[in-house]
Amino acid sequence: DIQMTQSPSSLSASVGDTVTITCRASQDIRNDLGWYQQTPGKAPKRLIYSAFSLQSGVPARFSGGRSGTDFTLTISSLQPDDFATYYCLQHNAYPRTFGQGTRVEFK
Amino acid sequence: QVWLHESGPGLVKPSQTLSLTCTVSGDSINSDDYYWSWIRQHPGKGLEWIGYIYSSGSTYYNPSLESRLTISLDTSKNQFSLRLSSVTAADTAVYYCARDSSDGYSFGLDYWGQGTLVTVSS
């Protein structure tokens, strides 16, 4: 199975900050990675797919990056609605595997 | 727009079988482009992929659950279902159904149901 190692597990930030979350895959997954946002009591909502592609309707302050097997989600100018938990998911192979999650908290 | 909705008992006794159904609207589960999937989330924890079923009826299960798991299709109702046998308290979780796309435009889990909490308790 492909292991996804996500960091940090949590971070504190303020409105207007730029934050970056990282996922490292245990093997080459090409660009086959998505990022999801989850708020309490809700289903995950996809933000990014195929490493870089912004899901329709998602604000442009969310962006994805890749360097080898390292993937990043960057949120520029953090907004109040962005305080949530974020997960990466590899869609290169089965079984699908998620990162452990990053909670973005208000500083 | 595609909608998925999970339904089933919210409480299951230990050693019994957990059964859930996902009803899909706005898309056909007969499509060759999608894999219909189940994911769960233990309370306060991360996400665990359970398995998928394809339009042909072929399945792929998470090896950690494979011995207890069955995913099936009902094309007449545009539904797919999950059955997990011999449940324990460790199976208490929110269960999500989702569409896993490979249609050339979207890839991965793009549409999700709202989730349903299943508690295993006597």
Contact (Cβ atoms closer than 8 angstroms) between residue B1 and residue B25: no
Cβ of A32 within 8 Å of Cβ of B37? The answer is no
Backbone angles phi and psi of B121, in degrees to 5: -160, 150
How many residues make up chain A in this entry? 107
Per-residue pLDDT band for B55 (boundaries 50, 70, 90) equals very high
- pLDDT tens-digit series, residues A64-98: 999 999 999 999 999 999 999 999 999 999 999 99
| pLDDT of B106 above 90 | no
Q: What is the pLDDT of residue A67?
A: 97
Distances in Å between the Cα of A45 and the Cα atoms of A49, B2, B98, B113 are 11, 14, 11, 10
pLDDT per residue as tens digits for the range A4-44: 999 999 999 999 999 999 999 999 999 999 999 999 999 99
Q: Exposure pattern of B44-73 as b/e (b: 16+ CB <10 Å)? A: eeebbbbbbbbbeeebbbbeebeeebbbeb
Confidence of residue B91 (pLDDT cuts 50, 70, 90): very high
> Per the structure block, which two tokens stand in for B89?
């308290």
Between chains, do A44 and B47 touch, taking CB under 8 Å as contact?
yes
Is the pLDDT assigned to residue B103 strictly greater than 90? Answer: no
The tens digit of pLDDT for each residue in B68-78 reads 999 999 999 99
- Whether omega before B9 lies within 30 degrees of 0, making that bond cis, reads no
Chain B CA closest to residue A54: B106
Q: For A42, name the nearest residue in chain B, comparing CA atoms only.
A: B114
Among B62, B100, B114, the residue with its CB nearest the CB of A43 is B114
Site from A94, A100, A102 to mutate, B interface, most B CB atoms within 10 angstroms: A94
